[in-house]
Chain A
């Protein structure tokens, strides 16, 4: 009896070894609609999720979504808890010191959203003496540190975009910088319509914003070539545009390099 159990265990062990581990796709646990957000049943939905399904089908990979706290998502990747970061992460030189990125799969500008009438223009003049709120460890934060650090009265940083939105709606901050797409969604929400308005997009800065959003990968991971090929393939065969049409009424890919 013991022998049978042992051999069964051995088969199970080797069976799992033979089968490739599914690729763990790290998504920030905090909802980021319309890209990644859990629906009422707890399933992850959104543009990025559909995009991932298309990529994994194209590259014949088995992928599972692994929610990970945003502020620990890079350590989670480097320590092997996840294999790929897919969380609207902008490709930046600073991050590239620690991780690799695939080619970009979308690129959107940064919006400045403010309490109605609080800020005149999305630049230094408009923000002088104001309180600015940003989610920590984002390109928006890097942008604010570079351009607005001296102009603003105070910069407040938050762990999630939800908290920035709440404090803007509560009037504790005058303005926030956020990605244009979820920003548009916030402005359409009840709280957003009541309190706030779009001031405009901030001036472009290739150094901070110019590279768009890519998959984050461990340094030297050969997966990079596989994903790049898959991104190119679904861009060419129209799958990318088909997915985008379900969520946006404009092209989110940005300039074609």
Chain B
């Protein structure tokens, strides 16, 4: 506790408390009492967390083969993986989301898609959001994983080979865990960034927490208070993610080679 309460921290905490107190005293918060907004806010928070989690998991599952292909794959796998990462990382995520949602959507009218069994699913917005956000994660983390796979000391892999370990077992037990271990802090940071990318899907009718705040602002003409609440919610979720990754890091042994 003594080490935590440094003078600069005390000043910052006091400033934060003053800002919160000012917002509570002078702001207009009556909308927080309305049950229709409470339900929307809770649903929105859940949707933001859900989108972040699902797209990070799906994206990482894609990023591992993409990173591996780039790190050690033959050229006919490495080249497409490299091109994919370049395109995803070189274009705005908002554009990718819109191309998927409105671009694909404009191709549907009058085709077999609208009569197929998949249409009730493809009609909704969330599948496009999940796909776009996951592809984005795959692109960025594919690059991260490329470095991670290359960074595992060669001696580790050769030792495993010398012991007669099969290739897949070597990958599962030696290579992947050590690679993931190295980039865990990076992935933690990218998860926070991913959380803050989710508001982009509010533009394709998904009512996550950012869209909910926008809705409240437009309904009530109260400009700043919903944004203030939004900031607190995002900081809380981001804090949760940071703590989770700290815990994960503390559980994994840090010795390499």
Contacts and interface: CB of A to CB of B under 8 A. Distances in A.
B254 interface: no
A136 B218 contact: yes
Contact of B105 (A156, A157, A166): A166
B109 A194 contact: yes
A159 B219 CA distance: 13
Interface string A88-116: 00000001011000000000000000000
Contacts of A195: 109
B185 interface: no
Given A157-B205, A166-B102, A172-B123, A137 B109 contact: no
For chain B, the bracket of interface size reads: 10 to 19
A71 B218 contact: yes
B114 A171 contact: yes
B83 interface: no
A171 B108 contact: yes
Contact of A170 (B105, B203, B215, B221): B105
Contact of B123 (A136, A169, A171): A171
Contacts of A166: 102, 105-106
A97 B222 CA distance: 11
Interface in B64-119: 102, 105-106, 108-110, 114
A74 interface: yes
Contacts, number: 47
Contacts of A95: 221
A156 B106 contact: no
A98 B222 CA distance: 10
A171 B108 CA distance: 8
A158 interface: yes
Contact of B106 (A131, A137, A169): A169
B223 A170 contact: no
A216 B145 CA distance: 54
Interface residues of A, number: 24
A167 B221 contact: no
A143 B215 CA distance: 16
B199 interface: no
Given A74-B221, A166-B102, A171-B123, A157 B215 contact: yes
Contacts of B147: none
Interface string A80-93: 00000000000000
Nearest to A174: B123
B145 to A, nearest CB: 35
Given A170-B106, A170-B109, A98 B215 contact: no
Contact of A71 (B110, B124, B214): B214
Interface string B119-141: 00001110000000000000000
Contacts of B218: 71, 136-137
Contacts of B214: 71, 136
Nearest to A160: B203
A136 B215 contact: yes
A195 B106 CA distance: 11
Contacts of A126: none
A159 B106 contact: no
Interface in B175-227: 203, 205, 214-215, 218-219, 221, 223
A129 interface: no
15 contacts: A71-B218, A74-B221, A95-B221, A97-B221, A131-B123, A133-B205, A136-B214, A156-B205, A157-B205, A157-B215, A166-B105, A167-B102, A169-B109, A170-B102, A171-B108
Interface of A: 71, 74-75, 95, 97-98, 131, 133, 136-137, 156-159, 163, 166-167, 169-172, 191, 194-195
Given A136-B215, A171-B114, 12 more contacts: A74-B221, A97-B221, A131-B123, A133-B205, A136-B214, A157-B215, A158-B205, A163-B102, A166-B102, A170-B109, A171-B109, A172-B125
Smallest CB-CB A-B distances: 3 pairs: A170-B105, A137-B218, A156-B205
